[in-house]
Amino acid sequence: MVDDPDRHLPDATPDRDYDTLSERPPGLSPGDRPKVPSTLPPRGAFDTHLPLPDGGDTRFDDWARRLRTHLATLEIDRGVIVAGDRRGGGPALIEALARLGDGMRGVGVVSPETSDEALDRMAAAGIRGLRVLRHGPCNFDRIAVEARRLAQRGLHIELPGGIAGENLADLVAALPCPVVLADCGVARLPGGPDDPAFDAVRRLAGEGRGYVKLMAPGDPADTDRLAPFVRALAETAPERCLWGSGGPLDAATHDAGVLLDRFFDSVRDPAARQAILVDTPAALYGG
């Protein structure tokens, strides 16, 4: 067996260790199944970023199989399916949630073309938030309008990282619904956690005015550079942090088991782990 560099982590379970390259089951490629994490998550854990693939039933069935393997291998109980640009209209995500069954929630995409009736259908189907996608300059007026519609339905809004820079607090203060910031709240990882753009994200979380997904912008596998930002947010406001892997759709570029190991390496406090993986997503997405 290949030596696991994470055996020093607290509560390691070497008897359950699994290396996707040296011990993969017959018929499964390394991307089909992540590494078993050296530290297993607490019961009720969420993976809050599982992108929904584009394509028809054949691709969905393959992805759903790999998704179940992904969650079972990580021993994660709940998942949040995130619609991309082309599948954000609602029906595809609603169908996916119905086919996947209990334990799944969704995040769709909202635009001025999304009708109130469509929002009602999404909310009834287990979709708990809507993303605003970045297409050119940020339109703060449009975001405020969409946030009001989401607030009426008890939904949150997810904004791309770096959307407002140092003016982030002013934008969020004007929104009537909960706000989730993707990619650690930044468009790209700055030089360090003291950078003004990231400091605005950390202050926002510390003041209880927004949630932050602990994912690297652009490259989920950029775990070494991501680590100090994860530590800073977890130390400031673990009750405002969420963890997401990118799911099996991104398995060609990174191993979710390795990402989870790196999360545990950065966040050592058991109470903070419980908040980030279980309590906070359960409150936001529904437990």
235 occurs within a structural domain: yes
CA-closest candidate to residue 276, choices 220, 218, 186, 215: 215
Q: Is the dihedral of CA 54, 59, 62, 65 positive or negative?
A: positive
pLDDT value, residue 57: 58
67 occurs within a structural domain: yes
For the stretch 94-153, pLDDT in tens is 999 999 988 899 999 988 889 999 999 999 999 999 998 766 566 788 899 999 999 999
3 occurs within a structural domain: no
pLDDT value, residue 174: 84
pLDDT value, residue 226: 87
The tally of domains found in the chain comes to 1
3-class SS of residue 225: helix
pLDDT value, residue 137: 62
35 occurs within a structural domain: no
229 occurs within a structural domain: yes
Q: Average pLDDT of each block of 10 consecutive residues along the chain (287 residues)?
A: 47 42 46 86 96 75 92 96 74 93 92 92 95 74 92 95 75 90 84 85 91 81 82 96 88 83 95 98 91
E strands within 141-237? Answer: 156-159, 179-181, 211-213
5 occurs within a structural domain: no
Residue linked to tokens 């202050």: 203
pLDDT value, residue 218: 65
pLDDT value, residue 186: 84
Rg from Cα positions in the chain: 18
Range of the domain at 183: 40-285
E strands within the chain? Answer: 46-51, 78-82, 104-109, 127-131, 156-159, 179-181, 211-213, 241-242
Enumerate the β-bridge partners of residue 108.
Answer: 130
pLDDT value, residue 53: 86
pLDDT above 90 covers a percentage of the chain that reads 52
Find the CATH number of the domain harbouring 152.
3.20.20.140
Query: Whole-angstrom Cα distance, residue 77 to residue 73?
Result: 10
120 occurs within a structural domain: yes
pTM: 0.86
21 occurs within a structural domain: no
∠ Cα 63 68 73 (to 5°): 125
